[in-house]
Amino acid sequence: MRCQSNEELEALVEEAKQLTKHGKVADYIPALALADEDKLSVALYYPDGRCYSAGDTSENFTLQSISKVLTLALALMDRGEEYVFDHVGQEPTGDPFNSIAKLETNKPSKPLNPMINAGALAITHMIQGDSVSDRLERLLLFIRKLSGNDSLTYNAKIAQSEYETGHLNRSLCYFMKQHGVIEEEVEDLMDLYTKQCAIEMNCLDLARVGCVLAMDGADPVSGEQIIPLDIARICKTFMVTCGMYNASGEFAIKVGIPAKSGVAGGVMGSLPKKCGIAICGPSLDDKGNSIAGVRLLEMMSKKYSLSMF
Amino acid sequence: MRCQSNEELEALVEEAKQLTKHGKVADYIPALALADEDKLSVALYYPDGRCYSAGDTSENFTLQSISKVLTLALALMDRGEEYVFDHVGQEPTGDPFNSIAKLETNKPSKPLNPMINAGALAITHMIQGDSVSDRLERLLLFIRKLSGNDSLTYNAKIAQSEYETGHLNRSLCYFMKQHGVIEEEVEDLMDLYTKQCAIEMNCLDLARVGCVLAMDGADPVSGEQIIPLDIARICKTFMVTCGMYNASGEFAIKVGIPAKSGVAGGVMGSLPKKCGIAICGPSLDDKGNSIAGVRLLEMMSKKYSLSMF
Amino acid sequence: MRCQSNEELEALVEEAKQLTKHGKVADYIPALALADEDKLSVALYYPDGRCYSAGDTSENFTLQSISKVLTLALALMDRGEEYVFDHVGQEPTGDPFNSIAKLETNKPSKPLNPMINAGALAITHMIQGDSVSDRLERLLLFIRKLSGNDSLTYNAKIAQSEYETGHLNRSLCYFMKQHGVIEEEVEDLMDLYTKQCAIEMNCLDLARVGCVLAMDGADPVSGEQIIPLDIARICKTFMVTCGMYNASGEFAIKVGIPAKSGVAGGVMGSLPKKCGIAICGPSLDDKGNSIAGVRLLEMMSKKYSLSMF
Amino acid sequence: MRCQSNEELEALVEEAKQLTKHGKVADYIPALALADEDKLSVALYYPDGRCYSAGDTSENFTLQSISKVLTLALALMDRGEEYVFDHVGQEPTGDPFNSIAKLETNKPSKPLNPMINAGALAITHMIQGDSVSDRLERLLLFIRKLSGNDSLTYNAKIAQSEYETGHLNRSLCYFMKQHGVIEEEVEDLMDLYTKQCAIEMNCLDLARVGCVLAMDGADPVSGEQIIPLDIARICKTFMVTCGMYNASGEFAIKVGIPAKSGVAGGVMGSLPKKCGIAICGPSLDDKGNSIAGVRLLEMMSKKYSLSMF
């Protein structure tokens, strides 16, 4: 499928783009530091198949934290709501996404929610399969189905880069292993997690994934229920309460669309019953969200009255 | 106006009511400890004037933390969005509603959001007027308009009880005074805040308030825009991200309705574009929310598919 | 009694004095901000009555936190060890002296030690007497006896200044009142505490107080046991583990003398079985200790091998 | 050398021993859980070669955290004071010995002191040598010299057990690696650290080590300065401010002897200029210190007036 270019959208992108120079690309993962920080693109995917875009939407980027929503959906399908939330909490937190302090102060030790790194690692731990490669394959199949892109895979170079430098995530893993939150070998989990974060797609693919969540889990083309309704709702709820790192509250107020961002500059939005949205803009603000992407969503929300509140 | 009793609703209330014995009434404020913990009532208020109820909805209860949403609306109208959020944050927190720790660790000191006590005190501080009684009068007029109940006022005995025992809130106030977040005399602010928390109404009144917020600030009868649209949205957003104390995330997942609870057992819900909901059930769970009220909302949300996600 | 001036000591003072320009006088209490930041003086008081000094030791300064050691001694005499340590802990803390966070995280709420503000306020609360003025009088009599200076009293202007601006201490008080650590009216306790902190003396007086503690509580002249041996030891122990704010560990390593500092620039040292030391140097380092005073003690400790370790 | 049995000491041991049933042996390291919890033994080693003991002092036990004092001495000798304290702080902390929270909140990330696990791991990282086995050999040689026991080594089974279960220490290591506090492979450091903790000796050996520290680093027999005076003092200072885990403050008050405990039930004391003391009593109190050992030291301190304060 091809998206129609849209003039109005192009104008908004041009305006929002001016912000890119006030942010900077993620540099804590060496391979991400190479991204072009001036870029900004957006795609909207509607359940009737219409699709609009602006900017260069053909370029791939890695999902990074956006993948946390998708592994959550799969883990909920694999394990059920009760099991998942016995091990990972449902509450937003005022702490940074990579913080370890709450794991220590909360008794029993339990990550506060699936969107912070500790919780996401615990969720990835729940993906079923006989081996890391088996579990990765299941996750890839699931995401290919959601995106309609049968050939997508992960970027091995970026996965490797994150694997080598991810000491903070290892620290979280070992802390959770000590407390029985995770049981497998930490290096196995790190292997799976870094590959998951490095899954690549373009804006069109991602907007389609957002659309499936928006439509309560149903494929917009075939109507197939890829994700059960309850689970799709859970995903959107976490996107509102903690999808945009430590700016989730502000984003909910200014934009009002369930959304999840990643440090490669991607943002996936899911407007309930309406459409999926995807943005890629690698220049990040100090909270780790695409600086121009957030502004673009704010402008779109105001102009088209998209807030769900 | 009178609400119609509704059989289906009565049945749900009867079922949810069985939970009351697993909670307990708030006892840290002596005057609240006298509430009848077996009670449970609910009212739904629709923009077309229809109203349904179950249980004894004629009884008054104090708003307590529910009032935080209404002072936020008035402060935003008095001071503007920029001023308000320069002084109080927009992010949910994993800490308890009465916690002081984050005031210390965050630099500069700034309450994380208007729904925790520190933030609510800072918001009440912003209500304009020449004196405490003047500011209280403005707040009462505002809430009378929202509820359509011209005679409502605060419960002086409960206000006094909270004033006398509110040492933790005084601690928060002095901490914020040290850091310039509030400037007035702490005892004046405590006077105003405890009276605000002690404002009384019944379920029908509260459901109407919820309905105004649901309708983006417009009076369901006269159509008058009592609260500007943007501000009504902000209120609903905070109700989702931090309206139900430390169970806001779980509530958003299980119920999916913007809601704010108080320790007297009240819950106000605002389903965007649909209706206002009010519940009173003084028996609280360990997070401080009406134990049967939360269950009732969960049952209603499932039965009528009310989740906004 | 008069102290002999001592050339060697004068030389050390001159050298240490060069550091004063790298610190600054306390400015959070307006009345303290007026101190002459270039000053540095020292006195040593030996049990045989010998006394050596350097710099201008006739000038008075307020004890500030140094008073915490003396109220602790009096509270232990008034209430006994068990009562005191049931309400205030004995452990050093890595948190700042005015921190409130640990009061919240520790269950039950209990100040960590008598040298941080929370603990010192709880200790002052224990001083017995029929009224604030009665309790203050008892404390003054006790300190006059220790110092041998019958006319010393508190500086009313500085006490008033601290009373008016002490919102953080009020915050600590109300927090502890909420948790039952203190029971009296907060304003009464603040009145007593700020007067205690404003008790004034000069270096000679303070060196004599330090000497009494060094001699296990016995008056160096009369031999009278002013403080029981056990209690004098407890005081010196806290001076080592938490007497120099958040630099107590480093000070113990570099100097190795039980010591307590105050933000007016005073330091009281008590070298067990040997002598009392007093220093006044209002220019403070970033931990709140006299910047030149700490250096002077370090030089003296090295030169005369004073470390008790 | 042989220690003389001492009747008075035997009587104290018998009395203190009654406490063993109120504690329990460490069970988080499987190999330690096998210790006989009823045991209690003590040895005193004087610089003139006299030695007194009570209980069965021939049995070996692992040093565990007691080793932290000895690696600190060696690291200070290897790297110098400035380097060591640039990377590890000198301040006591109110947090548990295995806490990670302060590593996160302190900026830049730096362990608070060498006696908590994070700091001890960073100190072990500083031990020089070409390989793990080389560094271990250097440490063993150093400790053999201090103890006068040329054949002592580590318990391979206990080292292995701690290596396999030490996920919390791995978590601390990776956190510090992320922040540049340590640079080597975490598994190498864990290998060295767990072997260091598993170094075994008996009470007589350990009392002699304590005596060397007491005598400012000089061998009591040969007079050789094994540890420079300054470094021996630093070790004793840390033993006072943070040697007995979170009960260091209370221990300093009740006992007043520089001491370091380990979870195998050992305690090493160093009374400046007087003697070394060693205790072994595997039953621990809730802070992780030998429950009967602490009582015994308290009784000895009272009876013989050993407090240095």
> Model confidence over B53-110: pLDDT tens digits?
999 888 999 999 999 999 999 999 999 999 999 999 999 987 888 888 888 888 888 9
pLDDT at position B4 is 81
pLDDT mean over C245-252: 95
Which residues in chain A touch residue B234, judged by CB atoms under 8 angstroms apart?
253
pLDDT above 90 (res B34): no
Q: At what angle do helices C203-214 and C132-147 cross, to 10 degrees?
A: 80
Which one of 3.40.50.720, 1.10.1500.10, 1.20.1260.10, 3.40.50.12780 gives the CATH number of domain A65-89+96-197?
Answer: 1.10.1500.10
pLDDT mean over D172-190: 97
Burial class (CB in 10 A: 0-12, 13-18, 19+), B259: buried
pLDDT at position B2 is 62
pLDDT above 70 (res D1): no
| pLDDT tens column, B193-246 | 999 999 999 999 999 999 999 999 999 999 999 999 999 999 999 999 999 999
CATH class of A4-64+201-304: alpha beta
Spatial distance between the Cα atoms of B253 and B68, rounded to a whole number of angstroms: 22
pLDDT at position A223 is 94
Spatial distance between the Cα atoms of A238 and A112, rounded to a whole number of angstroms: 12
Question: How many CB atoms are located within 10 Å of the residue D5 CB?
Answer: 12
Question: How many CB atoms are located within 10 Å of the residue B303 CB?
Answer: 10
The verdict on domain C4-63+201-302 having CATH code 3.40.710.10 is yes
Tell me which residue has tokens 């102060």. Answer: A105
Longest dimension (CA), chain C: 55
Taking chain A (309 residues) in runs of 10, the rounded mean pLDDT of each run is 80 96 87 86 95 92 98 98 97 86 85 96 98 98 98 97 95 96 97 98 97 97 96 98 95 97 97 97 96 98 95
Nearest chain A residue to B254, by CA: A234
pLDDT at position B27 is 84
Residues with Cβ within 8 Å of D260's Cβ and at least 6 positions away in sequence, in order, are: D65, D66, D68, D69, D115, D239, D243, D244, D267, D268
Q: Which two tokens stand for residue B57?
A: 């909805």
Spatial distance between the Cα atoms of A54 and D291, rounded to a whole number of angstroms: 71
Locate all alpha helices (DSSP H) within chain C, ordered by sequence: 7-17, 67-79, 81-87, 101-105, 117-126, 132-147, 156-165, 167-178, 186-197, 203-214, 229-242, 248-254, 291-304
Spatial distance between the Cα atoms of B236 and D41, rounded to a whole number of angstroms: 67
Nearest chain B residue to A248, by CA: B91
Tell me which residue has tokens 């069985």. Answer: B18
Spatial distance between the Cα atoms of D263 and D280, rounded to a whole number of angstroms: 10
Spatial distance between the Cα atoms of B183 and C40, rounded to a whole number of angstroms: 38
Q: Which two tokens stand for residue D14?
A: 């018998």
CATH class of D4-63+201-303: alpha beta
Compute the count of residue pairs across chains C and D with CB atoms less than 8 Å apart.
Answer: 98
Residues with Cβ within 8 Å of B66's Cβ and at least 6 positions away in sequence, in order, are: B206, B260, B261, B262, B266, B267, B268
Examine residue C114 and say whether the peptide bond preceding it is cis (omega within 30 degrees of 0).
no
Q: Which residues of A are catalytically annotated?
A: 65, 68, 193, 245, 263
pLDDT at position A188 is 98
CB contact under 8 A, A93 and B93: yes
Q: Write out the E strands in A214-274.
A: 259-261, 266-271
Tell me which residue has tokens 């009848």. Answer: B36
Spatial distance between the Cα atoms of C41 and A270, rounded to a whole number of angstroms: 70
Spatial distance between the Cα atoms of D269 and D250, rounded to a whole number of angstroms: 15
CA distance A159 to chain D (A): 18
pLDDT at position D284 is 96
Which residues in chain B touch residue A93, judged by CB atoms under 8 angstroms apart?
92-94
Tell me which residue has tokens 């310039």. Answer: B180
Nearest chain A residue to B88, by CA: A250
The fold of the D65-197 domain, in CATH, is Probable Glutaminase Ybgj; Chain: A, domain 2 (1.10.1500)
Chain B residues whose C-beta is within 8 A of a chain C C-beta are 99-101, 104-105, 167-168, 170-175, 177-178, 186
Tell me which residue has tokens 């104390």. Answer: B245
Residues with Cβ within 8 Å of D185's Cβ and at least 6 positions away in sequence, in order, are: none
Q: What is the DSSP-derived secondary structure letter of residue C218?
A: B
Based on the residue annotation, tell me whether C304 is a catalytic residue of this protein.
Answer: no
CA distances, C131 to each of A91, C87, C134 (Å): 49, 21, 5
Which residues in chain A touch residue B233, judged by CB atoms under 8 angstroms apart?
253, 256, 307, 309
The verdict on domain B66-197 having CATH code 3.30.70.1400 is no
Name the more confident of C5 and B178.
Answer: B178
Question: How many CB atoms are located within 10 Å of the residue B108 CB?
Answer: 7
Which residues in chain D touch residue C91, judged by CB atoms under 8 angstroms apart?
92, 94, 246-250
Q: Write out the E strands in B241-286.
A: 259-261, 266-271, 275-280
Question: How many CB atoms are located within 10 Å of the residue C145 CB?
Answer: 17
CB contact under 8 A, A100 and D101: yes
Which residues in chain D touch residue A99, judged by CB atoms under 8 angstroms apart?
104
CB contact under 8 A, A94 and B90: no
Chains that touch B (3 or more CB pairs under 8 A): A, C
pLDDT at position C259 is 98
Based on the residue annotation, tell me whether B45 is a catalytic residue of this protein.
Answer: no
Locate all alpha helices (DSSP H) within chain D, ordered by sequence: 7-17, 67-79, 81-87, 101-105, 117-126, 132-147, 156-165, 167-178, 186-197, 203-214, 229-242, 248-254, 291-304
Contact yes or no for A265/A202 (Cβ under 8 A): no
Residue B31 binned pLDDT confidence (cut-offs 50, 70, 90) = confident
Nearest chain D residue to A165, by CA: D178
Based on the residue annotation, tell me whether B88 is a catalytic residue of this protein.
Answer: no
Spatial distance between the Cα atoms of A69 and A236, rounded to a whole number of angstroms: 9
pLDDT mean over B141-152: 97
Longest dimension (CA), chain B: 55
Q: Using DSSP bridges, classify how beta strands A259-261 and A266-271 pair: parallel, antiparallel or unpaired.
A: antiparallel
Spatial distance between the Cα atoms of D39 and D281, rounded to a whole number of angstroms: 5
Which residues in chain B touch residue A246, judged by CB atoms under 8 angstroms apart?
91
Nearest chain A residue to D166, by CA: A178
pLDDT above 80 (res D29): no
Nearest to C173 by CA among C128, C126, C118: C118
CA distances, C282 to each of A15, C138, C291 (Å): 56, 28, 8
pLDDT above 90 (res C41): yes
Spatial distance between the Cα atoms of B101 and B112, rounded to a whole number of angstroms: 11
Chain C residues whose C-beta is within 8 A of a chain B C-beta are 99-101, 104-105, 167-168, 170-175, 177-178, 186
The residue annotated as part of the active site, out of B17, B45, B52, B68, is B68
Q: If you average pLDDT over each of A106-120, C3-17, C70-84, which comes out highest?
A: C70-84
Nearest to A293 by CA among A274, A254, A257, A266: A266
Chain D residues whose C-beta is within 8 A of a chain C C-beta are 85, 89-95, 102, 112-113, 233-234, 236-238, 240-242, 246-250, 252-253, 256, 258, 272, 307-309
Spatial distance between the Cα atoms of B256 and A66, rounded to a whole number of angstroms: 22
Looking at every residue in chain C, the average pLDDT score rounds to: 95
pLDDT mean over D155-173: 96
Nearest to B179 by CA among B242, B136, B125: B125
Q: Strands across the sheet with A41-45, in order?
A: A4-5, A51-54, A41-45, A275-280, A266-271, A259-261
CB contact under 8 A, D92 and C92: yes
CB contact under 8 A, B241 and A249: yes
| pLDDT tens column, D94-136 | 888 888 888 888 888 899 999 999 999 999 999 999 999 999 9
Spatial distance between the Cα atoms of B306 and B298, rounded to a whole number of angstroms: 9
Q: Which residues of D are catalytically annotated?
A: 65, 68, 193, 245, 263
Using a pLDDT cut of 90, give the percent of chain A over it. 87
The residue annotated as part of the active site, out of C17, C25, C41, C65, is C65
Spatial distance between the Cα atoms of D283 and D294, rounded to a whole number of angstroms: 11
pLDDT above 60 (res B1): no
Residue of A99, A105, A241 to mutate, testing the B interface (most B Cβ within 10 Å of its Cβ): A241
pLDDT at position C245 is 93
pLDDT above 80 (res B3): no
Q: What is the DSSP-derived secondary structure letter of residue A286?
A: T
Report chain A's terminal Cα–Cα distance, integer Å. Answer: 32
Q: Strands across the sheet with C259-261, in order?
A: C4-5, C51-54, C41-45, C275-280, C266-271, C259-261
Annotated binding site of C for substrate: 65, 117, 162, 169, 193, 245, 263
Spatial distance between the Cα atoms of D141 and D68, rounded to a whole number of angstroms: 16
| pLDDT tens column, D131-153 | 999 999 999 999 999 999 999 99
pLDDT above 80 (res D50): yes
Give residue B301's Cα distance to chain centre.
20
Tell me which residue has tokens 């389609």. Answer: A208
| pLDDT tens column, C198-235 | 999 999 999 999 999 999 999 999 999 999 999 999 99
Spell out the domain ranges in chain A: 4-64+201-304, 65-89+96-197
The residue annotated as part of the active site, out of B45, B52, B154, B245, is B245
Contact yes or no for A266/A63 (Cβ under 8 A): yes
| pLDDT tens column, A48-58 | 989 999 998 88
| pLDDT tens column, C85-134 | 999 999 998 888 888 888 888 888 899 999 999 999 999 999 999 999 99
Based on the residue annotation, tell me whether C52 is a catalytic residue of this protein.
Answer: no
Locate all alpha helices (DSSP H) within A149-247, ordered by sequence: 156-165, 167-178, 186-197, 203-214, 229-242
Contact yes or no for A63/B65 (Cβ under 8 A): no
CA distance C250 to chain D (A): 5
Nearest to B287 by CA among B261, B253, B255, B254: B261
Phi/psi of residue D284, each to 5°?
A: -105, 150
Q: Which two tokens stand for residue A249?
A: 């509250």
Tell me which residue has tokens 């947090």. Answer: D95
| pLDDT tens column, B103-112 | 888 888 899 9
CA distance C161 to chain D (A): 32
Chain D residues whose C-beta is within 8 A of a chain A C-beta are 99-101, 104-105, 167-168, 170-175, 177-178, 186
Which residues in chain B touch residue C186, judged by CB atoms under 8 angstroms apart?
170
Residues with Cβ within 8 Å of C60's Cβ and at least 6 positions away in sequence, in order, are: C155, C200, C201, C202
Nearest to B307 by CA among A270, A272, A305: A272
pLDDT mean over C52-76: 96
Q: Using DSSP bridges, classify how beta strands B259-261 and B275-280 pair: parallel, antiparallel or unpaired.
A: unpaired
Residue C3 binned pLDDT confidence (cut-offs 50, 70, 90) = confident
